Amino acid sequence: MSALDFTQTSTARRVGDAERARILAAPGFGQHYTDFMAHARWTVESGWGGGEVLPFGPLQLSPAAAVLHYGQEIFEGLKAFRHADGSVWTFRPEANGERLQRSARRLALPELPVPDFLASLRALVAADEPWVPEATSEESLYLRPFMFASEEFLGVRASHTVDYYVIASPAGPYFPRGVQPLVVWITDEYARAGAGGTGAAKCGGNYASSLLGKNEAAENGADEVLFLDSETHTSIDELSGMNVFAITRDGRLLTPALTGSILEGVTRLSILQLARDRGLEVSEQRLVMSEVLEQLGSGEITEMFACGTAAVINPIGEFRARGGSWTVGDAGSGETTLALRKELTDIQYGRIPDRHGWMTRLV
Binder among 309, 333, 337, 348 for ligand COI (CB under 6 A): 309
Query: 153 or 175, CB closer to ligand COI?
Result: 175
In terms of Cβ atoms closer than 10 Å to its own Cβ (0-12, 13-18, 19+), residue 171 is buried
Binder among 170, 256, 308, 350 for ligand COI (CB under 6 A): 308
Smallest gap from Cβ 331 to ligand COI, in A, equals 24
Cα separations (Å) of 167 from 39, 44, 48, 67, 78? 9, 24, 19, 18, 11
Smallest gap from Cβ 147 to ligand COI, in A, equals 14
Say if residues 115 and 41 touch (Cβ distance below 8 Å): no
Question: Which residues ranging from 183 to 242 are in contact with ligand COI (CB under 6 A)?
Answer: 241
Stretch that binds ligand COI, among 117-125, 130-138, 308-316, 337-345 (CB under 6 A): 308-316
Smallest gap from Cβ 143 to ligand COI, in A, equals 9
Residue 19 makes CB contacts below 8 A (sequence gap 6+) with none
Amino acid code (one letter) for 142: Y
Binder among 33, 39, 67, 77 for ligand COI (CB under 6 A): 77
Smallest gap from Cβ 145 to ligand COI, in A, equals 10
Q: How far apart are CA 8 and CA 310, in angstroms?
A: 27
**Residue of this chain nearest to ligand COI (CB atom):** 77
Say if residues 112 and 3 touch (Cβ distance below 8 Å): no
Query: 308 or 317, CB closer to ligand COI?
Result: 308
User: Total residues contacting ligand COI (rule CB under 6 A)?
Assistant: 5
Smallest gap from Cβ 231 to ligand COI, in A, equals 24
**What phi and psi values does residue 69 have, to the nearest 5 degrees?**
-110, -40
Q: How far apart are CA 284 and CA 259, in angstroms?
A: 10
In terms of Cβ atoms closer than 10 Å to its own Cβ (0-12, 13-18, 19+), residue 49 is exposed
Smallest gap from Cβ 238 to ligand COI, in A, equals 10
Q: How far apart are CA 74 and CA 186, in angstroms?
A: 26
Smallest gap from Cβ 359 to ligand COI, in A, equals 17
Residue 229 makes CB contacts below 8 A (sequence gap 6+) with 191, 235, 236, 237, 259, 261
Smallest gap from Cβ 144 to ligand COI, in A, equals 8
Stretch that binds ligand COI, among 2-10, 85-93, 218-226, 302-310 (CB under 6 A): 302-310
Half-sphere exposure for 15 (CA within 13 Å, toward CB): 18
Contact flag: residue 125 with ligand COI (CB under 6 A)? no
Stretch that binds ligand COI, among 288-296, 304-312, 315-323, 345-353 (CB under 6 A): 304-312
Stretch that binds ligand COI, among 55-63, 273-281, 307-315, 335-343 (CB under 6 A): 307-315
Binding site for ligand COI (CB under 6 A): 77, 241, 308-310
